[in-house]
A and B are shown apart, each in its own frame.
Chain A
Amino acid sequence: MGKERTAVLGVGQTEYRSTRGDVSMAGLVREAALRALADAGVGWADIDAVVIGKAPDFFEGVMMPELYLADALGCAGKPILRVHTAGSVGGSTALVATSLVQAGVHRRVLTLGFEKQSESNATWALSLPQPFSVSINAGAGGYFSPIIRQYMARSGAPDLIGCMVAFKDRQHALRNPHAHLHQADLTFDQVVEAPMLWDPIRYSETCPSSDGACAMVLGDEAAGDASPNPVAWVHGTAMRSEANNFPGRDEVSPQASRDCAADVFRQAGITDPRAEIDAVEMYVPFSWYEPMWLESLGFAEHDQGWRMVEEGATHLDGGDLPVNCSGGVLSSNPIGASGMIRFAEAALQVRGMAGEHQVDGARRAFGHAYGGGAQYFAMWVVGADKP
């Protein structure tokens, strides 16, 4: 017996903002959940289980928030599961929920990721001075910048490729009402002239710190067939992990990333990702990760990813492989939700429900998230047609 076909029945997103001072943590997750239920045309009683994800508890200082949020998410008498895989958690959470439907355990599952970054400081939470730790706490930018420089040296990419990605994603964000950054007057020169934080990463090439939540209702084949709005069918799912330091590790394109992509495309029957995928939502918290992941995932040849950026191939206007039409992580980053937003936006594209940032005629889309020191990967391929 194979897997039960699984569909995204509904998507719900909050507005992503630096501070959502108008809602409690429970109110924030309910806002996304209620929108996903409405999109799916179902109520709380139609949900069989909830799978929730967020970044480390230290981010808001609420230990195990999934427990106090259980009844806020209509979970009385139902199972609730919490997932945590660092920055990739939003993607992994969606995949755990998917597996519950694929396995035939539940008919409809609500899955949700959130973060309320305004209530804490992610850099503080990620840089706790543990006794006897042998790691320097340089923050995410300090960790990833040398890896980006390694990519630039290896590929011969021009210096301003990262700025082109950042400018493109901020332009895309103007078409997404949920996006945190709406910088209508931003110019490319302003991106280039922004303060250098960790050379080669400029302030303009980093993600913002956002409050927000993203939810999806997933259902089995019968639920998908009965759903009032178009659904997105799951064509492939994959997760991989690896250590962040071992001899011979390729930090630019980790083995786990390449293996995860190969697995998910094999499941979806995709042999030429660039030609067969219509829209990509990938996890790009620092601009240069767009060309790096394009190569690692198989959308570009080795050392050629930056050329796609330079040629405008990843732009919603005129590109053959639009990447992060929602504005991406560079325009909204409620960390625990950021991976799920990628997955949900991929689903919206093949449902034809992405609004102003819709890729015309998108039939298959790719959602991607990574976390830790580029150690944890979660990916899915969704399509307008049943697999």
Chain B
Amino acid sequence: MADAPLRADLILEYPFSRTTGPVIGAFLTGLREGVLLGIRRADGTVMVPPAEYEPDTGESLSELVEVGPAGEVVSWTWVDSPRPQSPWDRPHGLALVRLDGADTPMLHGVLVDSPDELATGMRVEVVWSDEREGHIADIAGFVPKEPS
């Protein structure tokens, strides 16, 4: 049909690479080794994940400190029907977890069966993936930590 609208696919793909540098690189390498690292700021507080610089002033940061592996839920949400893009394919929590020794919370999954098992202030601990490659998914998620 002469006046049918033209159609064309546009698929853009490129295998971009990334250089992580001395701080994010150390954090990711730590995940592979099963170690959680934060960075100490000028005021003594610890930021997780770490950054190469003071977020307020731009001053350089370099003192990596180990944190976790347990921490406290600062706030949370419940995902009952994970979308296809979700890292988890079953119902799960998403929580801001402040790891022991850290002053900033980090978002990750909490692997429980029901929102009834989630509460602000609860203690959780990290579950490592069996195979780790230096990626945030090396943390399989967090689970409630039993009082010791």
Chain A residues within CB distance 8 Å of chain B: 20-27, 30, 34, 44-45, 58, 60-61, 71-76, 116, 118-121, 124-125, 128-132
27 contacts between A and B (CB under 8 A): A22-B21, A23-B22, A24-B21, A25-B19, A26-B21, A26-B51, A26-B53, A27-B21, A30-B60, A44-B57, A45-B57, A58-B14, A71-B51, A71-B55, A74-B57, A74-B59, A76-B56, A76-B58, A119-B18, A120-B14, A121-B14, A125-B14, A128-B12, A129-B10, A130-B10, A131-B8, A131-B10
- Say if the beta carbon of B86 comes within 8 Å of chain A: no
Is B16's CB under 8 angstroms from A119's CB?
Answer: yes
What residues on A are CB-neighbors of B55 within 8 Å? 71, 76
Q: Which residue of B lies closest to A25 (CB)?
A: B19
How distant is the Cα of A61 from the Cα of B18 in the complex, in angstroms?
10
What residues on A are CB-neighbors of B107 within 8 Å? none
Q: How far is the CB of A21 from chain B (nearest CB, A)?
A: 5
Scan B96-108; emit 1 where CB is below 8 A from any A CB, else 0.
0000000000000
How distant is the Cα of A74 from the Cα of B19 in the complex, in angstroms?
21
Is A132's CB under 8 angstroms from B21's CB?
Answer: no
Q: How far is the CB of A38 from chain B (nearest CB, A)?
A: 12
Partner of A74, one of B6, B9, B51, B58: B58
How distant is the Cα of A121 from the Cα of B16 in the complex, in angstroms?
8
What residues on B are CB-neighbors of A76 within 8 Å? 55-58
Q: How far is the CB of A137 from chain B (nearest CB, A)?
A: 13
Query: Which chain B residues (35-67) contact chain A, with CB distance < 8 Å?
Result: 51-53, 55-60
How distant is the Cα of A364 from the Cα of B40 in the complex, in angstroms?
47
How distant is the Cα of A72 from the Cα of B53 in the complex, in angstroms?
6
How distant is the Cα of A119 from the Cα of B15 in the complex, in angstroms?
9
Is B6's CB under 8 angstroms from A23's CB?
Answer: no
Is B53's CB under 8 angstroms from A60's CB?
Answer: no
What residues on B are CB-neighbors of A125 within 8 Å? 14
Q: Which residue of A lies closest to B21 (CB)?
A: A24
How distant is the Cα of A34 from the Cα of B9 in the complex, in angstroms?
45
Is B19's CB under 8 angstroms from A20's CB?
Answer: yes
The winner among B19, B20, B57, B60 for most chain A CB atoms within 10 A is: B19
Is B59's CB under 8 angstroms from A24's CB?
Answer: no
What residues on A are CB-neighbors of B59 within 8 Å? 44, 74
Is B8's CB under 8 angstroms from A72's CB?
Answer: no
Total count of chain B residues near the partner, CB < 8 A: 25
Is B21's CB under 8 angstroms from A124's CB?
Answer: no
What residues on A are CB-neighbors of B58 within 8 Å? 30, 44, 71-76
- Say if the beta carbon of B17 comes within 8 Å of chain A: yes
- Say if the beta carbon of B24 comes within 8 Å of chain A: yes
Given A44-B57, A44-B58, A72-B58, A120–B21 Cβ distance below 8 Å? no
Is A61's CB under 8 angstroms from B16's CB?
Answer: yes
Q: Which residue of A lies closest to B20 (CB)?
A: A24
Is A60's CB under 8 angstroms from B16's CB?
Answer: yes
How distant is the Cα of A75 from the Cα of B22 in the complex, in angstroms?
22
Is A132's CB under 8 angstroms from B19's CB?
Answer: no
What residues on B are CB-neighbors of A72 within 8 Å? 51-53, 58
What residues on B are CB-neighbors of A21 within 8 Å? 19
How distant is the Cα of A60 from the Cα of B18 in the complex, in angstroms?
9
How distant is the Cα of A34 from the Cα of B58 in the complex, in angstroms?
10
Partner of A118, one of B8, B17, B20: B17
Is B57's CB under 8 angstroms from A26's CB?
Answer: no
How distant is the Cα of A61 from the Cα of B15 in the complex, in angstroms?
9
Q: How far is the CB of B24 from chain A (nearest CB, A)?
A: 6
Is A30's CB under 8 angstroms from B53's CB?
Answer: yes
Q: How far is the CB of A245 from chain B (nearest CB, A)?
A: 22
Q: Which residue of A lies closest to B10 (CB)?
A: A131
What residues on B are CB-neighbors of A60 within 8 Å? 16
How distant is the Cα of A24 from the Cα of B50 in the complex, in angstroms?
13
How distant is the Cα of A374 from the Cα of B34 in the complex, in angstroms?
52
Q: Which residue of B lies closest to A26 (CB)?
A: B52
Q: Which residue of B lies closest to A62 (CB)?
A: B16
How distant is the Cα of A75 from the Cα of B56 in the complex, in angstroms?
8
What residues on A are CB-neighbors of B12 within 8 Å? 128
Partner of A119, one of B17, B25, B56, B60: B17
Query: Which chain B residues (93-134) contact chain A, with CB distance < 8 Å?
Result: none
Q: Which residue of A lies closest to B7 (CB)?
A: A131
